[in-house]
Amino acid sequence: MHGKKYNLITILGPTASGKTTVAAKVASVLDGEIISADSRQVYRGMDLGTGKDYADYVVDGKAVPYHLIDIVDAGYEYNVYEYQKDFLRVFAEITAKGKLPVMCGGSGLYLEAILKNYKLIQVPVNEPLRKNLDVKSLDELTEILKTYKNYLHNQTDIENAKRAVRAIEIEEYYLTHPEIDTGMPDIRSLVVGVKFDRLSRRRRITSRLQQRLKDRMLDEVQHLLDSGLTPDQLTYYGLEYKYMTQYLTGKLSYQEMFEGLNVAIHQFAKRQMTWFRRMEKQGTEIHWLDGYMPLDEKVEKILEWYSEK
């Protein structure tokens, strides 16, 4: 099989960092297959808006196999629990073939669910607990949640009272069921990050947005609306889908849509980098590569790290 120290290579980075190109090349050289870690690329029919650059998976004329892209219909609300389950199935299939899994993406929660072996299971509803928590404010719920774990790894847990109650319910279940085993295999991953300096990242994001609009990204969103998805369902997916739906339903002018979306993507990339830095602070070693480094040099560096004993 492959190097003993690692049984997975993870390539992460903010949006528009070129991480997919790097992952595909690495997978091609090491006879590997890619497992996407992108919370929106799982949806069929949401291609340009989620940045599915299918051409990136063809290296030197040969298609590199990829997984967990286009696996559910738009309109469905896929979650991190399902992702972890799907990842484990695909990881087992790839390793059983004697190939190397290469995880690639920018969705911090999905990446950490694998790298940190989160115990994710479908926790049942606890009615008595919900009744007790029902009278509490969001601040009070946040304090209760902090008694289970010092750091809230997912800030969306405290976006509203309903989410906070569910998060407490999950933590309480884990506490009272210590025997739970998610069946996670021993995952030892080399983690590599690709990033550009802030100004370059901003330039790349704006330029990519302009290109996608030229490539008729608005038509994609219109098609989803025509196929029966409601504006609310599409807005749920955020960023491109939120702003373009608002434009197509007459709530924003084209200029407002473009400027608002451009700023939102910059902010999103910034949040991704903040997440990755927090991962490092909490013990995940990320080997960073400068985005401007030529592709072959990037791959060479990754192979060097990968073969270290």
- 207 inside domain: yes
Domain residues for 163? Answer: 127-176
> pLDDT tens digits, residue range 227-267?
999 999 998 898 999 999 999 999 999 999 999 999 999 99
Domain match, 93 and 46 both: yes
Domain match, 102 and 221 both: yes
pTM tops 0.85, yes or no? no
Domains identified in the chain, total number: 2
- 139 inside domain: yes
- CA-to-CA separations, 223 to 50, 226, 241, in angstroms, rounded: 15, 5, 12
Residue 145, pLDDT above cutoff 70: yes
Domain match, 189 and 266 both: yes
Domain match, 194 and 301 both: yes
- 2 inside domain: no
> pLDDT tens digits, residue range 45-84?
999 999 999 999 999 999 999 999 999 999 998 988 899 9
* CATH classification at residue 16: 3.40.50.300
How many Å apart are CA 254 and CA 35, to the nearest integer? 35
Residue type, 255: Q
Domain boundary (160, 176, 192) is at 176
Domain match, 14 and 107 both: yes
How many Å apart are CA 101 and CA 192, to the nearest integer? 14
Domain match, 264 and 301 both: yes
